[in-house]
A = this chain, B = another copy of it.
Amino acid sequence: MERNVILVIDMQRDFVLPDSPAYVAGAASTVPAIARFLEYGRSRGWDIVHVVRRHRPGGSDAEIFRRHLFSDGGQFCAEGSEGAEIIDGLRPCSGDYIVAKTRFDAFYATDLEVLLRGLGTTAVYIAGTQYPNCVRSTAVGALERDWPVTVVTDCCSAATEAVAMANIADMRAMGIACVSSDEVMRENS
């Protein structure tokens, strides 16, 4: 039986809002497309997993290159903080799942694989930010686990269009589908 999942990656205030610690320029403009795609997925009974970055106080679980964000009492996607919240417009609904991560790849050091296998996932669709880091790492992580993977292009973002295009080209060459949400909906209609 077909059981599709949509992973929505890192659509949190600390990535999406200007002046936030890890602002991704393209992220905010994808919110309407993601919201529409989630609505479509929910209407068809697809599983929705919000993958969020979440760090413990002090940042001892943060990447080496981000540890400085925690010095002098600073924080970044800190557990319970406003910055770690999923932005308005994409708030989880009842029945959605949450997976917290501390690195790019949503499969690394998380139970995402346990959850997807438990759900009986047959195909993975990826929305969120940003292309070169968490989107791509997670897409590759799903591919390595033998799930068909689709990166939904108008629902993903990067700092620049050139970065997005270069990553889409690489991922297509790996066998990861990179298509618009309109095309996904057409294919599944």
Q: Which residues of A contact B (CB under 8 A)?
A: 56, 59-62, 97, 101-103, 109-111, 113-115, 118-119
Contacts and interface: CB of A to CB of B under 8 A. Distances in A.
B97 A114 contact: no
The 6 closest A-B pairs by CB, nearest first: A109-B111, A60-B118, A61-B115, A109-B114, A60-B119, A61-B118
B115 A111 contact: no
A61 B118 CA distance: 5
A78 to B, nearest CB: 14
Nearest to A111: B109
Contacts of A111: 61, 101-102, 109-110
Contacts of A110: 109-111
Contacts of A59: 118
A114 B59 CA distance: 11
A62 B60 CA distance: 28
Contacts of A62: 118
Contacts of A109: 110-111, 113-114
A101 B111 CA distance: 8
A62 B59 CA distance: 29
A143 to B, nearest CB: 19
A59 B111 CA distance: 13
Given A60-B115, A109-B113, 6 more contacts: A56-B97, A56-B115, A60-B119, A61-B118, A102-B114, A109-B111
A97 B97 CA distance: 23
A124 B101 CA distance: 23
21 contacts: A56-B97, A56-B115, A59-B118, A60-B115, A60-B118, A60-B119, A61-B111, A61-B114, A61-B115, A61-B118, A62-B118, A101-B111, A102-B111, A102-B114, A103-B114, A109-B110, A109-B111, A109-B113, A109-B114, A110-B110, A110-B111
